[in-house]
């Protein structure tokens, strides 16, 4: 897809954590619009808000280790015309403060951007308490909420800039660990759009977040083995781009979803709901199946949970051999 300006998958892929892209995007958004403000709950460096906080100290609020206060202060900032980005680890925000997000942001309909970093098992050694796997499910059931999960640093930057201009509440899910960069500054990003990153006819892989890079690597290798999979990257889980997903599944008639989180209520849940009502198709869900994470290196954990290009390839072969 030449108009998508993706990185050539044949080369060695550079890596960067999505949170870094968010940090760049936030700084740029702040330079563009003086109403963009930020608040953090004692994780300014980890969530990459430090460059914004340094350049705009008068527009940065440090609330301490208080995630309930974090999002509710955000609601107040938005009520007086600001566009706040409020960040912490996803395990704590939206993990701890769901009701405040529901009432003071979503029902109150204030354009607060809740930023949850260190989502997924790739957080690594910190273990299960800090590996947020349920956040997509928690956020996507809320009316008015937009849910965005960028695939790499550059897309996280573009998503941040787009969210800064959007007047809806949002949740932006970020990762701690560096992951392959597969998009460029010219790759399009629009809230609510899914993108066909790779075309194929044998099966559709629907992926979000950093799993899209794994899907693309798998797709490249599968192509050499004579299997043509279509990779649909879904950076916006809510609102879901129904048209793009249905169009692809109507063509391939087989679906694998992949995400670094609980499949229950996650991307898999959203896709299953869509297909069940519109175009029932055989489906396999890769992701976390009703268990917590644990300590380990990111690579060990991704291997353990079956979230690598290799596991995708195995799943594709198994799936297409089924009649």
Partner 1 sequence: MGDKTKTLTFKELKKQANDIRVSIIKMVEAAGSGHPGGSLGLADIFTALYFDVMNCDPKNPDWGERDILLLSNGHCVPVQYATMAHAGFFDTKELITLRKHKSRLQGHPERHALPGLENTSGPLGCGLSQACGMALAMRMNKQTNRYIYVVMGDGELDEGNVWEAAMLAPKYNLNNIIGIVDRNNIQIDGPTENIMPLGDLKQKWEAFGWNAVDIDGNNIEAVISAIDMAKAVKEKPTVLIARTTPGKGVSFMENDYHWHGVAPNADQAKVALDDLHELGAKIESEHE
Would you tell me which residues interact with partner 1 (CB under 8 A)? 37, 58-59, 61, 63-64, 66, 68-69, 72-82, 84, 99-100, 103-104, 107-109
- Smallest gap from Cβ 73 to partner 1, in A, equals 4
**Closest Cα to residue 245, out of 235, 186, 1, 7?**
235
Which CB sits closer to partner 1, 37 or 178? 37
- Smallest gap from Cβ 184 to partner 1, in A, equals 35
Beta carbons within 8 Å of 75's beta carbon, 6+ residues apart: 100, 104, 105, 108, 110, 112
Among candidate residues 16, 55, 67, 243, the one labeled active-site is 67
- Smallest gap from Cβ 102 to partner 1, in A, equals 8
- Smallest gap from Cβ 100 to partner 1, in A, equals 6
Tokens 């990153």 sit on residue = 197
294 is catalytic: no
What are the residue ranges of helices labelled H in the chain? 18-32, 50-55, 67-79, 98-100, 135-140, 153-165, 211-224, 242-252, 267-278, 298-304, 309-321
Which CB sits closer to partner 1, 104 or 252? 104
Q: Give the separation between CA 6 and CA 149, rounded to whole angstroms.
A: 18
- For 144: left if phi > 0, alpha if psi spans -120 to 50, otherwise beta; the answer is left
Which CB sits closer to partner 1, 32 or 314? 32
- The one-character DSSP state at 57 is G
175 with 260: CB under 8 angstroms? yes
- Smallest gap from Cβ 36 to partner 1, in A, equals 11
259 with 175: CB under 8 angstroms? no
Beta partners for residue 230, in sequence order: 204
Q: Using the CB atoms, write b or e for 6-36: b if 16+ within 10 Å.
A: bbebeeebeebbbbbbbbbbbbbbbeeeebb
182 with 7: CB under 8 angstroms? yes
Which CB sits closer to partner 1, 69 or 221? 69
- The one-character DSSP state at 75 is H
- Smallest gap from Cβ 35 to partner 1, in A, equals 8
Q: Which residues are known catalytic residues?
A: 67
């Amino acid at each position: 897809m030449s108009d998508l300006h993706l990185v050539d998958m044949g080369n060695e892929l550079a890596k960067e954590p999505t949170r870094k892209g968010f940090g760049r995007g936030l700084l740029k958004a702040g330079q563009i619009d003086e109403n963009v403000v930020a608040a953090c709950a004692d994780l300014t460096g980890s969530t990459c808000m430090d460059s914004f906080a340094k350049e705009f100290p008068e527009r940065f609020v440090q609330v301490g280790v208080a995630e309930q206060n974090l999002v509710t202060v955000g609601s107040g900032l938005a009520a007086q015309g600001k566009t706040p980005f409020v960040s912490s680890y996803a395990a704590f925000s939206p993990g701890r403060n769901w009701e405040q997000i529901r009432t003071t942001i979503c029902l109150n309909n204030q354009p607060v951007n809740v930023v949850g970093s260190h989502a997924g098992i790739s957080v690594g050694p910190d273990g299960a308490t800090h590996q947020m796997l349920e956040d997509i499910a928690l956020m996507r059931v809320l009316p008015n909420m937009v849910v965005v999960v960028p695939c790499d640093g550059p897309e996280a930057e573009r998503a941040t800039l787009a969210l800064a201009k959007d007047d809806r509440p949002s949740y932006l899910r970020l990762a701690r660990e560096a992951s392959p960069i597969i998009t460029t500054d010219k790759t399009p990003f629009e809230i609510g759009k899914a993108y066909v990153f790779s075309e194929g006819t044998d099966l559709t892989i629907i992926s979000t977040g950093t799993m899209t890079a794994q899907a693309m690597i798998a797709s490249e290798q599968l192509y050499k083995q004579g299997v043509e999979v279509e990779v649909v990257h879904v950076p916006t889980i809510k609102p879901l781009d129904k048209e793009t997903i249905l169009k692809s599944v109507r063509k391939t008639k087989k679906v694998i979803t992949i995400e670094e989180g609980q499949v229950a209520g996650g991307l898999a849940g959203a896709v299953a709901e869509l297909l069940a009502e519109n175009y029932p198709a055989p489906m396999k869900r890769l992701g976390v199946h009703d268990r917590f994470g644990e300590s380990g290196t990111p690579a060990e954990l991704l291997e353990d949970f079956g979230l690598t290009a290799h596991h995708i390839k195995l799943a594709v072969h198994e799936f297409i051999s089924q009649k």
